[in-house]
Amino acid sequence: MTHTDALAGAIATPLIDHHCHGVSPADLDFKRFQALFSESYRPPAPGTTEFQKPLGLAIRRFCAPVLDLEPSCPAEAYVERRLALGAAEVNRRFLRGSGLDSLLVDTGLRSSEILDVPGMAESAGRPAREVVRIEAVAEEVAQSCGSGAAFPRAFADRLAERAQGAVGLKTIVAYRCTFKIDQTAPSEAEVVEAADRWFAAASFAGKWRLEDPTIVRHGLWLGGELCRQRKFPMQVHVGFGDPDVYMHACDPTHFTDFIAAMEKWEVAITLLHNYPFQREAAWLSEVFQNVYYDVGVILNYAAPMSRDILGEALEMGKFSKFLYSSDAFGLSELYYLGALLFRRGLQQVLDRWLEEDFCSLKDAEELIRLVAYENARRIYPLNT
Ligand SMILES: [Zn+2]
């Protein structure tokens, strides 16, 4: 028996997807379908399609058979079959085929276009819990609270209310302000002044996108306090996973001061995505007691090369701090592929460790249990 065969049972264990989003309930034509597996706001270059990259290959190779098509069928045939089956059936097949234990769903991104948390639970046939995005709540409150003076109280109340049934909070400070910012808490007077400035500019422009670093910093500390009280993690977006980033300033090691402050409060920080900073994230998990990390989203985008990235993430990474996420958004294919590529990659990495006699089969099986669900269960309040 090869090592691969020996690990097959353990690797099939259900995964907790600790960072994911809703999928689209709409029947998607070619243009809309390919837009949902691009990390850019721009359409593909003239004369090209999104299928001409590793993720496109993986969709045609691994997702086509789930829709009763030949592996690697033409892209047009894939989209046609998807339309013929209807979005509800397609989503059901991919979500139920992902082998998930449960889903922790970030509801702060384009929530009107995708299934909500109960909708995701129903489609997946598995429990789904909510993670609340701090900046999205600030934007929602800003539009109704009237004056800067009323903002701190209204924001605190709404965030606490939204966190009631949630299992964690999430911040996107990285792509609103980068990590290279002052990481101390602003004073209430500074928050009020910044809120007045924000409201005036936003009402004039008709856009409520939060980019003011003072308000974002305030949200971090308000969120941190809530995480401390509720004893649940703060998820922190890092690196790849959104087009509007200054990537060089999204290295999570710039965020050390805030991470250290949260460590004192015993708040777990879960670093999401991390690519191309998976090594920096692993290092932070080694140094700080409260840091956890994943390599969600990039496994889908790297597809055949995803094993190498997973290998880098595990070079020095603590198995007790590494988590699984798909970061799927919009397409249920991204749930399915995320789980498939994670299992394949992890199996290939562990196979090598077994081959080279760095661990026993029992060690490998324990590592799989930790990253598949035990680490997530330890830090998220999933039984409440
Ligand atoms: Zn995400």
Cα Dmax for the chain: 69
Query: Does a structural domain hold residue 43?
Result: yes
Residue 4 confidence class, pLDDT cut points 50, 70, 90: low
State in Å: Cα 143 to ligand 1 middle.
24
Is the whole model's pTM more than 0.85, yes or no? yes
Task: Give the pLDDT of residue 262.
Answer: 98
Task: Give the pLDDT of residue 48.
Answer: 96
Task: Give the pLDDT of residue 3.
Answer: 60
State in Å: Cα 286 to ligand 1 middle.
24
Do 80 and 155 share a domain, yes or no?
no
Query: Does a structural domain hold residue 108?
Result: yes
* Residues within 5 Å of ion ligand 1, judged at the Cβ atom: 327
Query: Does a structural domain hold residue 301?
Result: yes
Q: 11-58: per-residue pLDDT in tens? A: 999 999 999 999 999 999 999 999 999 988 899 999 999 999 999 999
How confident is the model over 243-267, as a mean pLDDT? 92
Q: Which two tokens stand for residue 144?
A: 């109704």
Do 184 and 42 share a domain, yes or no?
no
The pLDDT > 90 percentage for the chain reads 90
Q: 81-120: per-residue pLDDT in tens? A: 999 999 999 999 999 999 999 999 999 888 888 999 999 9
Per-residue burial over 174-201, b if 16 or more Cβ lie within 10 Å, else e, is bbbbbbebebebbeeeebbebbeebbee
Domain that holds residue 111: 3-27+98-379
Do 177 and 44 share a domain, yes or no?
no
Query: Does a structural domain hold residue 243?
Result: yes
Q: 133-165: per-residue pLDDT in tens? A: 999 999 999 999 889 999 999 999 999 999 999
Do 47 and 136 share a domain, yes or no?
no
Tell me the DSSP string of 74-124. -HHHHHHHHHHH-HHHHHHHHHHTT-EEEEEEE--SSGGGS--HHHHHHHH
State in Å: Cα 86 to ligand 1 middle.
25
The pLDDT > 70 percentage for the chain reads 99
State in Å: Cα 191 to ligand 1 middle.
27
Query: Does a structural domain hold residue 93?
Result: no
Do 11 and 121 share a domain, yes or no?
yes
Which residue is associated with the tokens 């790849």? Answer: 240
Query: Does a structural domain hold residue 350?
Result: yes
State in Å: Cα 275 to ligand 1 middle.
13
Residue 254 confidence class, pLDDT cut points 50, 70, 90: very high
State in Å: Cα 2 to ligand 1 middle.
36
State in Å: Cα 358 to ligand 1 middle.
34
State in Å: Cα 303 to ligand 1 middle.
18
Q: Are 18 and 325 in contact (CB under 8 A)?
A: yes
Query: Does a structural domain hold residue 269?
Result: yes
What's the CA gap between 266 and 145, in Å, rounded?
A: 32
CATH number at residue 188: 3.20.20.140
Residue 1 has pLDDT above 60, yes or no: no
Do 309 and 165 share a domain, yes or no?
yes
Do 19 and 69 share a domain, yes or no?
no
Do 38 and 51 share a domain, yes or no?
yes
Task: Give the pLDDT of residue 2.
Answer: 59
| Number of structural domains in the chain | 2
State in Å: Cα 339 to ligand 1 middle.
15
Q: Which two tokens stand for residue 248?
A: 């060089």
Three-class DSSP category at 168: strand
Query: Does a structural domain hold residue 91?
Result: no
Do 204 and 329 share a domain, yes or no?
yes
Do 136 and 105 share a domain, yes or no?
yes
Task: Give the pLDDT of residue 288.
Answer: 98
State in Å: Cα 325 to ligand 1 middle.
9
Q: 276-307: per-residue pLDDT in tens? A: 999 999 999 999 999 999 999 999 999 999 99
Do 44 and 182 share a domain, yes or no?
no
Do 22 and 48 share a domain, yes or no?
no
